[in-house]
Amino acid sequence: MEYTVQELAGLAGVSPRTLRYYDQIGLLKPARVNASGYRIYGADQVDRLQHILLYRELGVGLRQIKAILENSSFDGLLALKNHHRELLDKREQLNLLIAKVEKTIQMKEGRIVMADAERFEGFKRKLVAENEQKYGAEAREKYGNDAVDASNQKVLSMTPEQWAEIEQLSNSFNDTLKAAMATGDPGGELAQKAADLHRQWLSYWWGKYSKEAHAGVAQLFVDDERFTAYYDKIQPGAAVFLRDAVQIYTGVEASCGGKNARD
């Protein structure tokens, strides 16, 4: 069956303007344009749009989605199975969070007593759920399900004491990075201390540290606008400065994917 822009937009619950924009950026091209100049979409385009919308629900940016779908190893059926599993995980996380919120309300109203450890458990699950929504699809595509599942489990297994250590380490890293940027030297003592603190912070989340992976992640901070914005909150230009410092620290210069490779 074939659809016009208006018909497909109505079917998918998006605006015709969205479909035209997807065509403009090469994310979803129509099967053909008819003699009257109307875009016409077929079954393949409907399938592709479904994948696009599912990835968008998981918080993946348009440029990343385009890269994923155009990867020669992309498997549509496997992607749907992964989406299904992630949605089930998300539903489970939401159910747990709803239960925690309900218990917190009851506690605030004086009807029950909830231990701090129980509230902390709900926070950890919320963090994992949010990370899965924002970055899960990309991380699983790049590192595999086992690595991401192991990282999530590491978070869920953390004690309040370990979490406090991470918070303290994160604050120390931010302060050191700011001071290092004031020197303007990514190879200087302060910048290299910041890179080492960053390594320590990553080691809390990773099962195994490697210089190559560290350099790759630092490059990602520059290539991905979301990470750039996060680090530039510390100070404008922090993502680039950290990338340079980490490359010196590790002795590894990661290949630059460029901003057009991600969003």
Q: Say if residue 170 is in the same domain as residue 149.
A: no
Domain end position, chosen among 69, 99, 116: 69
Give the pLDDT of residue 226: 78
Report the pLDDT averaged over residues 240-246. Answer: 95
Minimum mean pLDDT among 56-60, 70-74, 167-171, 231-235: which range?
A: 56-60
Of all residues in the chain, what percent carry a pLDDT higher than 90? 37
Q: Which amino acid is at 257?
A: G
* Domain tally, the chain: 3
Q: Say if residue 100 is in the same domain as residue 147.
A: yes
Indicate whether 201 pLDDT > 60: yes
Report the pLDDT averaged over residues 52-67. Answer: 85
Domain end position, chosen among 53, 69, 85: 69
Q: Say if residue 178 is in the same domain as residue 238.
A: yes
Q: What is the spatial distance between Cα 30 and Cα 24, in angstroms, rounded to a whole number?
A: 11
Tell me which of 169 and 145 has the higher pLDDT: 169
Give the pLDDT of residue 255: 59
Q: Say if residue 184 is in the same domain as residue 222.
A: yes
Q: What is the spatial distance between Cα 202 and Cα 156, in angstroms, rounded to a whole number?
A: 16
Report the pLDDT averaged over residues 90-94. Answer: 78
Q: Say if residue 86 is in the same domain as residue 144.
A: yes
Q: Say if residue 183 is in the same domain as residue 256.
A: yes
Both structure tokens of 193 = 């201390």
How many whole angstroms from its chain centre is CA 6?
Answer: 32
Banded pLDDT at 257 (limits 50, 70, 90): very low
Q: What is the pTM of this model?
A: 0.47
Indicate whether 102 pLDDT > 90: no
Q: Which domain holds residue 132?
A: 76-156
Both structure tokens of 244 = 């340079």
In a 13 Å sphere around the CA of 195, the CA atoms on its Cβ side amount to 26
Indicate whether 38 pLDDT > 90: yes
Indicate whether 129 pLDDT > 90: no
Secondary structure class of 157 (helix, strand, coil): coil
Report the pLDDT averaged over residues 164-189. Answer: 92
Give the CATH number of the domain where residue 51 resides: 1.10.1660.10
Of all helices (H) and strands (E), which one includes residue 82?
helix 76-108
Give the pLDDT of residue 263: 33
Nearest Cα to Cα of residue 226 among 118, 134, 93, 102:
134
Q: Say if residue 212 is in the same domain as residue 239.
A: yes
Q: Say if residue 50 is in the same domain as residue 132.
A: no
Q: Which amino acid is at 190?
A: L
Q: Say if residue 238 is in the same domain as residue 180.
A: yes
Q: Say if residue 19 is in the same domain as residue 51.
A: yes
Give the CATH number of the domain where residue 216 resides: 1.10.490.50
Domain end position, chosen among 137, 156, 175: 156
Q: Say if residue 178 is in the same domain as residue 227.
A: yes
Banded pLDDT at 192 (limits 50, 70, 90): very high
Q: Which residue has the tokens 């549509």?
A: 76
Contacts of 254 (CB under 8 A, 6+ apart): 212, 215, 216, 218, 219, 247
Q: Averaging pLDDT over each range in 131-135, 202-206, 245-249, which range is the top one? A: 245-249
